[in-house]
């Protein structure tokens, strides 16, 4: 039995983004409870040459949105990267979830071999849909959500594996 492109993409991204919302809500709560200026946490990094929390969330949400749109044969709208608070980051992620909820399986199915062209570090890159999903979209979504989780955990937010994986 084969897995569908829709099942391997949209529901998985939605689930992980919902988990990211929960992780960010815990980060916001931690700042309130410990009288921490949330701009410090939103700007926190794991290492000086890595992106801060806000950018990790922006990239995770952008990759999920753009990936879903491109698999559906749509060109995603650009979103400004100007979030400075947990509330703004959470709203951004919720907006991406709402967009992904509009995508129907019929739009994604059959995209396995469809060429997907996008800009990556200043160059056009073309991949077949399945390669794009499995080797670019999903690893990037997981990487940036994991890094957001790690930044918050490193800074004292009480998080565990169930926060990352969500409830089954």
CATH for 39: 1.20.120.450
Domain extent for 41: 5-165
111-114 long-range contacts, CB within 8 A, separation 24+: 111/5, 111/71, 111/72, 111/73, 112/5, 114/71, 114/73
**What predicted TM-score, i.e. pTM, was given to this entire model?**
0.96
Mean pLDDT of the chain: 96
Q: Per-residue pLDDT for 167 more than 90?
A: no
Q: What is the pLDDT of residue 3?
A: 85
Report pLDDT digits (tens) over 144-154: 999 999 999 99
pLDDT band, residue 168 (cuts 50/70/90): confident
Query: 158: helix, coil or strand?
Result: coil
Split into its structural domains, the chain has a count of: 1
Query: 1: helix, coil or strand?
Result: coil
pLDDT band, residue 159 (cuts 50/70/90): very high
Q: What is the pLDDT of residue 30?
A: 98
The answer to whether 46 touches 151, Cβ cutoff 8 Å, is yes
Q: Per-residue pLDDT for 1 more than 70?
A: no
The answer to whether 13 touches 141, Cβ cutoff 8 Å, is yes
Report pLDDT digits (tens) over 47-99: 999 999 999 999 999 999 999 999 999 988 888 999 999 999 999 999 999 99
The answer to whether 16 touches 142, Cβ cutoff 8 Å, is yes
pLDDT band, residue 16 (cuts 50/70/90): very high
Partners of 124 in beta bridges? 119
């Amino acid at each position: 039995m084969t897995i569908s492109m829709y099942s391997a993409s949209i529901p998985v991204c939605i689930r992980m983004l919902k988990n990211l919302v929960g992780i960010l809500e815990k980060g916001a709560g931690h700042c309130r409870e410990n009288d921490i200026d949330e701009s410090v946490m939103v700007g926190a990094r794991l290492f000086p040459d890595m992106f801060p929390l806000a950018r990790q969330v922006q990239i995770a949400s952008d990759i999920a949105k753009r990936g879903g749109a491109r698999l559906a044969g749509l060109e995603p709208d650009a979103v400004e990267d100007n979030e400075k608070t947990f509330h703004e980051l959470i709203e951004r992620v919720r907006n991406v979830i709402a967009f992904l909820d509009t995508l129907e399986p019929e739009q994604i199915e059959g995209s396995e071999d469809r060429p997907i062209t996008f800009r990556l570090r200043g160059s056009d890159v073309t991949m077949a849909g399945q390669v794009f999903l499995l080797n670019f979209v999903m690893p990037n979504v997981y990487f940036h959500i994991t890094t957001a989780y790690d930044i918050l955990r490193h800074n004292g937010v009480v998080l565990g594996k169930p926060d990352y994986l969500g409830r089954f």
